[in-house]
Structure 1
Amino acid sequence: MPKSKRNRLVSLTATRKKGFAETKASLVNEIHECADQYARIMVFRIDNMRNAKLKELRTDLRYSRFFFGKNKVMSIGLGRTEAEEYKENLHKIVPCLNGQCGLLFTNSSKEEILKFFDSYRQKDYARTGDLATETVELYAGPLSQFSHSIEPYLRELGMPTSLQKGVVTLLKDFQFAKKEMHSLQNKHKLLEKKTAEFRVKIDAIWSNDGTFELLQKNNINENNNLNDSMSDEDGDDDDDDDDDD
């Protein structure tokens, strides 16, 4: 006899979804805990963000802590004014929190971190909309690296190609200008050219003795609104993504 569809178990329990205010408060508390635990806080930015590369970076700096959260909430955790700051001079970091950036909590020295990031650069394929870092030039003739099936797609990308005896052939010299942006990712992947560079830049450094050093003056948000509250709706701000190592 077939099982009745009406004979179903219905769970009467429910898990309350974590509220937005609770998420903010949790992030603020974690920032306070890390400020007590680590000797330095650094504001960092990543050029040509790649998740895979970031995972490798977290592994290399597994004794440090990375925070990617809403800038306004991280600002509240640090203290937006001298009266609100959690520790001495932490409010000086707040103007640096604008755009896509994060906080790095570490016990490593300034020299160790700067030296590490200065050499931590990895090439990857550019994405659509990125600016090329070099000019790529192809010369007229057979393009044996491409299969015949991809020839129509190459023409769509603007390359003057044709099939000659089943071989993709470039009819004239073709150049991808350094400033070219259209479909850059696809072109450079096809050519196996990695022109994007994943790298991390440090904007500012705060130490637990109260000293603050600004390294990248151009990234200061002089119009930073210090009157935002935790009840503000931040849906259009940076993505919430608190990560630790």
Structure 2
Amino acid sequence: MQSTQPTIWQEIDEVKQAVAEVLAHAKQLGASSAEASMSRTKGLSVETRHGEVETVEFNQDGGLGISLYFGQRKGSASTADLSPQALRRTVEAAADIARYTSEDPHTGIADASWLEMSPPDLDLYHPETIGTDEAIALCAGAEDAAFATDNRITNSEGASFSSHTGLKVYGNSHGQLVGHPSSRHSFSCVVIGEDGDDMQRDYSFTVARQYSKLLDPKQIGREAALETIARLNARQVPTQKVPVIFRADIASSLFGHLVS
């Protein structure tokens, strides 16, 4: 990790410079204010089914999004091409859009007093070098564990592993220019169960910033099997008023509905 830290922070400095140039170009075009964010990600994704490799992907992506304002008129544009020429064209596209939009009294970037100019390190970056063979073995192990859990598990929709690192930089015309690196490792397994005429599917997954904190693949396979078996031969209850206890994974999703 020590050998990669300077590299990621050097990348962040490079991206900060690019975002600063984007904001400067927006100002040259007459924008009264602007904000932009740029991201870069890279990593490995592997999917298997019945122990056979379905996909292996190495990806390296990036993108820029910018919103600029002419008074209370806003224009936004984005690009996946991070070359200097493409970034300038994206700023100009956002400016063209802003010139033709109607005024909105509630638009604009946040007040400078609300912004954190020196955000704390949230310890989100824990890179790990995972080989393709290791990732395939993890997926196969989960599927094997699922089939071994119960003979009613008759099929698999596969297991998948993902390990990605990246960075994000945000800047605006108030002078805020901040960035941070992050990592994300995840693993999942989906299986199908049958009992008579009833067929059900379910899954289990684990996700963490640190690879070492992922749950064991065999545990994920067993959990996927048990979740699937629990769905078989479900009974319908009559309409009634009763207390309801939500499972933890379901309860957390309720907040999304409330927020939206």
TM-score normalized by structure 1?
A: 0.24
> When you count strand as a share of all residues, which structure comes out higher?
2
TM-score normalized by structure 2?
A: 0.23
- Relative contact order: is structure 1 or structure 2 higher (C-alpha 8 Å, sep ≥ 6)? 1
Higher-Rg member (1/2): 1
